[in-house]
Amino acid sequence: MNGKSFFVDLTKCTACRGCQVACKQWKKLPAEETVNTGTHQNPPDLSYNTIRLVRFKEEVVDKKIRWNFFPEQCRHCVDPPCVGYSEVEGSMIHDPDTGAVVYTELTKQENYEDILSSCPYNIPRVDPETGVISKCDMCIDRLRIGLRPACVTSCPTGTMNFGDREEMMDLAEKALATVQKKFPEAELVDPYETRVIYLTAYPAQEYYEYLMADAAQTPRKGLTRKQLFAKLGGAAARMRS
């Protein structure tokens, strides 16, 4: 068993935000007070109470508009750097069955800046009042009773898929081959490093700066994000859980 994975086919995402709302509903997370800032994207960023966010980005390429949608969540890295950086026992659990990376209330004892900077995808968010850090937990409570994550069940177009890792990798590679006929720049984003495998139609940076772990990222604690992965087991191809 290599645990579970998501396959997220962005070529099919219509940014309906069903997943974003389904996430809040299942997690009983409160709504934030927002304002319209000239984009549908709202809340503007991830937060302690918004652990899943659909990002909207407009690009004009060859006088044609590309409006790219990116449902962002924790990638549940195969070898999660955040867990490697954890200094508090029991604050982060790397579930052996699924590969889910689950944060507990003990994260309030962590150094949030360290945890955030360890993440190649800029995901963890802290509750300013309690210091507890939060992010997607793969709906591990649902998985334990045989349900799929809430976001996946809400998706109308087949963008969000979830299942055994081998099955998702297989699906991802087949989809890539099909999609490349229409979108030659299509790519799978960090498929070996993460459990949330995005398929893009266009280069990843046209969606969001943190969609793909950036090899040229300014070193944090002396390491690039790619190096971080390498340091933490270089599990790339092994896909162990």
Partner 1 sequence: MTNHWTDIKNSDCILIMGSNAAENHPISFKWVTKAQEQGAKLIHVDPRFTRTSAKADMWAGLRSGSDIAVLGGLIKYILDNELYFEEYVQNYTNASFLVNEDYAFDNGVFAGYDPKTRTYDKSSWAFQMEENGVPKQDPTMQDPNCVLQLMKKHYERYSLENASRMSGLSIDELKELYSTYAATGTGDKAGTIMYAMGWTQHTVGVQNIRAMAMVQLLLGNIGVAGGGVNALRGESNVQGSTDHCLLYHILPGYLKTPKSWQDSLAAYDKDYTPVSNDPESANWWSNYPKYSASLIKSMWLNDDPATAYNYLPRLDTGAASEYAWLTLFDKMGKGKFQGLFAWGMNPACSGANAGKNREAMANLDWLVNVNIFPNETGWFWEGPDMNPETIKTEVFFLPCAVSIEKEGSVTNSGRWMQWRYKGPEPKKGTMPDGDIMYELMKEIQHLYEKEGGAYPEPVTRLTWDAIATDGVFDAHKVAKLINGFFTKDTMVKGKTFKKGQQVPSFAYLQDDGSTCSGNWLYCNSYTDKGNMAARRDTTQTPMQANIGLFPNWSWCWPVNRRVLYNRASVDLKGQPYAKNKPVIKWDGTKWVGDVPDGGWKPGTKHAFIMRKHGYGQLFGPGRADGPLPEYYEPLECPVKEHPYSGQLHNPTAIAFAEEQKAVCDPRYPLVCSTYRVTEHWQTGVMTRNIPWLVETEPQVFCEMSRNWPSSRASTTATRLSWTACAAPSGPSPSLPQGSSPSPSTATPSIRSVCLALWLDVAQERRRLRQPADPVRR
Contact set with partner 1 (CB under 8 A): 12, 14-18, 20-21, 24-25, 30-40, 42-43, 58, 60, 63-69, 156-158, 178
Residue closer to partner 1 by CB (options 20, 98) is: 20
Q: Which is nearer to partner 1, 18 or 120 (CB)?
A: 18
The CB-of-65 to partner 1 minimum distance in angstroms stands at 6
Q: In angstroms, give the least distance from the CB of 67 to partner 1.
A: 4
Helices in the chain by DSSP H: which ranges?
Answer: 18-27, 81-85, 112-118, 140-144, 150-154, 165-182, 225-231
21/223 with CB nearer partner 1: 21
What sign for the dihedral angle of Cα 171, 176, 182, 185? positive
How many of the other CB atoms lie within 10 Å of CB of 113?
A: 10
DSSP 176-215: HHHHHHH-TT-EEESTTT-SEEEEESS-GGGT-TTSS--T
| CB 157 to partner 1: min, Å | 5
Q: How far is CA 93 from CA 89, 119, 193, in A?
A: 9, 16, 18
Beta carbon nearer to partner 1, 29 or 93: 29
CB of residue 159 to partner 1, shortest distance in Å? 9
Based on CB atoms, which residue is closest to partner 1, 26 or 192?
26
> Going by C-beta distance under 8 Å and a sequence separation of 6 or more, which residues neighbour residue 144?
none
Residues in a beta bridge with 198: 8, 189
Q: Which is nearer to partner 1, 23 or 133 (CB)?
A: 23
Q: In angstroms, give the least distance from the CB of 150 to partner 1.
A: 12
> Are residues 150 and 143 in contact, defined by beta-carbon separation less than 8 angstroms?
no
**CB of residue 84 to partner 1, shortest distance in Å:** 34
Which residues, in sequence order, are bridge partners of residue 175? none
